[in-house]
Structure 1
Amino acid sequence: MSAFDPAAVRAGDVLPPLTLTITRGGIVRYAGASTDFNPIHWSDRKARELGLPGVLAHGMWTMGASLRIITDWCADPRRVLDYQVRFTRPVQVPDDDRGVQVQVSASVTGVEAGVATVAVDARIDHEGKPVKVLGNARAHIRL
């Protein structure tokens, strides 16, 4: 799909893919903005004490950043009527300069009464396999 044309949106339309990168530095900035300073988001030691594999990105960062696939597409975040997700797997962020990439894809699953339903899929590479980090992610977009 090229430029967003509300009249042309149809079920089956695929949005341009999005690659997100989160690093430890990004987590620190997000923690400051959100005031969520839970140590699992900055301390490997604290995360491991709780049985986690290491530092995790904030779930709300993953959710919000993944919505960008839709706001980039429709060019107006005010079109987003609602957005909901289920967190299926935390995003572990390594202590390096590369961080982790989240691959986001989305498609229109229906259009009714001037509202498009868009399904969002967000995945990370885990041990060489893509795994979902958001489940049942859906948004309704005013056309």
Structure 2
Amino acid sequence: MISFNGLLDAFSDAEGAFMINTKNNKEVHFVFQITLHIDDIGAIYTIREKLGFGVVSIKGNTCSFRVHSFKVIVENLLPIFDKCSLLTHKQLNYIDWRKAIMLKKLEQINIRSLSVDTFNQIVLKIV
């Protein structure tokens, strides 16, 4: 039998997204999302229930599980993905996403907001 973490890995590899968004072109925000067909909403609710965090939404014939709280991402989600090995290019996406999150965390420690311009300058240096 496949463990929950194995299922989370599989859904993340197949339908997951590690996203970096901007708000009002001023602040950088991070989102993890798994989007499935509405027929699979049971899986989405199971992910939410087992993890104990995140938001489920329905739009048309799709349903999504999303995590957008920076604190929850840092304290809960990163440790889960640090322990797993995604099998597709998503592993590389995760590594880059994690680096960007750590940059923002460092900015928070320095009591500054990570602006889009600063973020873009940093990304250009690490890419």
TM-score, scaled to structure 2: 0.24
Please identify which structure carries the higher helix content.
Answer: 2
Higher relative contact order (CA 8 A, sep 6+): 1
Please identify which structure carries the higher strand content.
Answer: 1
TM-score, scaled to structure 1: 0.23
